[in-house]
Each structure stands twice: as structure tokens, then as C-alpha cells.
Amino acid sequence: MQDRPRIITKIEANPMLSTKRNEYRQLKVAAYCRVSTDSEDQVESYKAQVAYYTDAIAKNPRWKLADIYADEGITGTMLKNRDNFNRMIRDCERGRIDYILCKSVARFARNTVDSLKMVRKLKAKGIGVYFEEQCLDTLKVENEMFLGLHSVMAQSESENISANVRWGIQQRMKSGTFKFRYNILGYEKGEDGEPKIVESEASTVRLIFEMYLKGSSLVQIRDYLKEHQILTRKGDTKWETMVVKSILTNERFCGDMLMQKTYVDNPINKKQCVNRGELPKYYIQNNHPAIIERSVFQAVQAEMARRTSKRRVSDRARTEFGRYSGKYALTELLICGDCGSVYRRKTWKKRNGESEGVWMCFNRIENGREACKDSLAVREQDLHDAICRGLLKAYSDFGGAMDCITTALTYAMTGVDETLDIYAIEQQIKQINESLDEVIVLRERTQGDKSKYDVEVRRFSQQLVALRQQRDFMKERLEAMPSTRTEIDKVKKMFEEKENFITYRDDVVRCVVECIRVLDDKKISIILKGGYTVEEEIIA
């Protein structure tokens, strides 16, 4: 093979054919502007930036305006919310931009990591960013160190501003001057600048609280609101269970405000965290007009805690906690008198094809007859009739039942041992009154010395005075506790109308009954709140 000489030919550079930026090609230049708030001064600054860069690019013959990208009222610490900034980056990737003008590093980004990341990403594509205030061109290698320093300073400035703002907010919380947020149903800003109740929305709030206390579950309340086309705060009917729960747990509806329930972890990622003790909270009572009474709100919180702490019934349950069902009041109240298990409703089909509800011991349903041999299966209608007859018996002894209920509820809510004596005192007063009446009758009938009867009358009268004073003192303590009074008033209101006990009603049973035991001799034992007990036969 003949050796051939190596020939080297130089091909001169032709900048006109280059796709990279060069002095012969007109550059597609864009500008980025940003202001962080919607205040009037910031808006004017925003407009001035847009006008300045539009004019500056138009005056330079070597520049061609690609676009003006501007974010108004947006923070510079996060990229995800800056729509126009992200649009600019996408246009850079598509080759629509060669150079970017920006007022300062702080306008470009207040996050050091984001700032350097984006600058390097653009630089890899041959796209430079010029920061006028710092006179930095990112295409020059020696400027990256200075860019890093300015980015750190911009982030530090943002953190300082955030700390100052947080301090100001906490001071307003401490002094109780923090502004009310109108992001809940039932309130609007009044002419005097203070919260004002919107009655059309407030009625929805009251309905939700009322339904929950009557035994409805969150799902049942949600479905009711949807079915009746009741509007949410946004003006639609898209109710969710979490929205219902947030209304039931929001203290603002009873006129109070709990502040700093959440906090921002840091000004860079702006992650909102639930305050579980990391920062102090501030609770202000009677801050604004209340839609519901505080006692009602407290009763709802107590009921919510009771429902969520229900223990499991079935051995097959996955967790230790049971699930509340608001469909039937008897699901929680009906107990087997033999094994102590709860009763559950089953549906049986008759021979004629019709179906009827039957209540059975859940232990027997799940584990068989051997687990509970003597429990009764009770037809729902027979059970309802027996409960109504038992409640009518309690209604006929209204005074005794209410005394017992009042005593037990007062003790349960106050923890004061003396309140347990109210029922006993009432009974003593009743007995002494009867004895006093007998003595007075005997005194009137006797023809002899009446002095011994006078002594008895004075003794009984003194006992009555002492007992009544003791009873009145205890009742005053009761009256001073709104939550106790509300619960007792609710029960008393039920007992005031006989019609409430003629036909079975879930809401009445939930209100006045503590539990019902199904006994093996075809009877039920109805224990009212407070321990007053009535037995009634189940008639098939």
C-alpha cells in the first residue's frame, strides 16, 4: 500500500452560521419583573419595571423583544407559584430567548438554591441573565461567586422580613387585635369593620350543630345538606365530611378565637404545620358575635370525643376502636342482659316476602348460641312499643325522674360530690312536707293541748328551711355552669310534652336514655340519664 501524505485544511469560522450568541446575530431578549405584594406602591413599581424594559429593549438595534415576563403579588422564595417565571424558563428551553434582563438578584429569586440552579440551567443552554443592580452577567465565569453571595443576601433579607412579620402578628395576637378572617360560613365584614352575622348562612351552621347533637353522623349531615341543596361558603352544594367536621370544631362560631393553630415552618418552603405545642397559642373569648351558644359548642366537642373513643365490638375488627353509626339510636344503647354485649339490627324476611327489623345480641350473631344462650331476638316494632310505654311511665313520675337526672348530670359535669345529695334532699323535703301536713291536720282535730303539735310544726319547719337552703345553694352552683344547664334543659324539654313518648323517636331516646338492657324474661330495663330505671314487658 502506497503511503499518502497527510493533508490538513483549515476551515475558517463563520459566525453567521453559528446557533450560539455572537456579535453578528440579533439577540432575542426578554425581561423578568416581579413584585411581592399587591400594595399600591408595589403595583406602581411593577408597572415601571415593565415600561422600562420594554423601552430599553426597543432602543437597542441588536436586541429583539422576545417577551416581558412579569409576576405580580407573588413571593420570590418559591418557584411553583410563579407562573410567568416558569413560562419564561419553558420558552428558554424552546429556543425563543437568548438573553434575560432583570432588575436585581432579589427580583429573580430569594431562594439561593433556586437562583443558582436556574442560572446554571440557562447558562448550559448559552442563555445569560443580566442583573442591572449588581452589574452581573451570568455568562461570565468570574461572576458566579458574586451571584452566589447576592443570592444568599436576598434569601437572608427574605428571612428577616418573614421574622419581622411573624413577630408583628404574634404581638397582635397577644394584644387581641389580630384581624378576623372571613373565610367561614355565617360571617361578613360589617359597616363598622367588625364581624357581622349573615343570618341566611348562620341558620345552616345552627342546623349542623343541632343535627350532630341529635345523633347524626358527619356523613348523614353531609348527605342531608346536599339533598336539600343548602349552599356552602363558596356558593355551591359540594359538601364534604371534612367541611362539616371543620364547622363543628371551629370555636369562632361560639364567639371565640383560637389563634396560631398553624404556623409556617420557614419562609423558603412555606410549609404550613399544625401547631402541636411548638409555638404558643392565644385564646380570646367573646371576640365577636356568636352564632351558637358556647355550651352547645362544648357539648359537640364532648360528643365528638365520645364517638371517636368508642371501643371495638367485634373480635374481627382491625383496630381497637369502634365506628360510630348515627343510623339507629339503639345501636349504642341496647345491651344484652345476659352477656353484656351490644345488640345489632338484622333484617329478616317473612314467608310472604316482606322484611322486618329484628334486634339480636351481637355476641350471639358473631360467635353462635354457645356464646350467649339466653339472649332474646326482639322484633323492632315490639321493642319500640315497649320503650314508649316505659318512657310514658317515667313521664308520669316527672318530678322523680327529673330530680334523679339533674343530680347525676350535675355530678358528671362538675365532679362536686355534694351534688349527689340533691336528689336525697328533695326526697327528704317531700317526706317532711307530708309529715308536716299530718301534724297540722292532727293539731286542728285535737280538742286538748296543742302545744306538743306546735313543737313538731316548728321542728319540721326548721328542717325544711335548712334543707331548702342547702338545695338552693347546690342549684345555684348548677346554674353557674352553662354546659350542665343546657343538657338538663334539653332533657327537661323532652319530658314537658307527653307526645314525645307516644311514638318512638330516635332523637328522644338519644336525649333521655343512658342504656336499655334486654332481659331474658321478655322485659327491658330502661335506664334514663341519671340512673332512673323503668322496667317494661315486651309484648309480641
| pLDDT-derived band at 204, boundaries 50, 70, 90 | very high
**Stretch 512-526: mean pLDDT, rounded?**
87
Rounded to an integer, what distance in angstroms lies between the CA atom of residue 119 and that of residue 138?
A: 7
> Smallest Cα–Cα separation from 533: which of 408, 365, 439, 440?
408
Report domain extents, the chain.
20-160, 187-304, 311-540
pLDDT at 225: 93
Q: Which residues of 30-58 are buried (b: 16+ CB within 10 A; e: fewer)?
A: bbbbbbbeeeeeeeeebeebbeebeeebe
CA distance 390 to 393: 5
CA distances from 509 to 14, 281, 391, 529, 531 (A): 94, 39, 9, 10, 15
| Axis-axis angle for helices 83-93, 112-124 (nearest 10) | 20
Indicate the pairing of strand 334-336 with strand 282-284: unpaired
Report field, pTM of the whole predicted structure over 0.85: no
Q: Where are the alpha helices (DSSP H) in 236-283?
A: 241-248
pLDDT value at 271 more than 90: no
**pLDDT score at 209:** 92
pLDDT tens per residue, range 87-107: 998 999 898 999 999 888 877
Cβ(172)–Cβ(260) under 8 Å?
Answer: no
At residue 152, the pLDDT reads 63
Q: What's the CATH number for 187-304?
A: 3.90.1750.20
The whole-angstrom separation of Cα 299 and Cα 486 is 9
State whether CATH 3.40.50.1390 applies to domain 20-160.
Answer: yes
pLDDT at residue number 16: 47
pLDDT of residue 317: 45
Task: State the DSSP string of 70-102.
Answer: EEES--SS-STT-HHHHHHHHHHHTT--SEEEE
Contact status, residue 494 vs residue 455, Cβ threshold 8 Å:
no
Report the pLDDT averaged over residues 445-465.
82
Mean pLDDT of the 177-196 span: 81
Q: Which amino acid is at 293?
A: E
Give the whole-angstrom CA distance, residue 180 versus residue 257: 9
pLDDT in tens, 382-427: 999 998 888 888 777 766 666 666 665 555 555 555 555 566 677 7
CB 453 within 8 A of CB 446: yes
3-state SS string for 292-338: CCHHHHHHHHHHHHHHHCCECCCCCCCCCECCCCCCCCHHHHEEECC
> Strand 99-102 vs strand 63-72: parallel, antiparallel, or unpaired?
unpaired
Quick: pLDDT tens for 306-364: 777 655 544 454 444 445 666 788 888 898 988 888 888 888 887 777 888 899 998 88
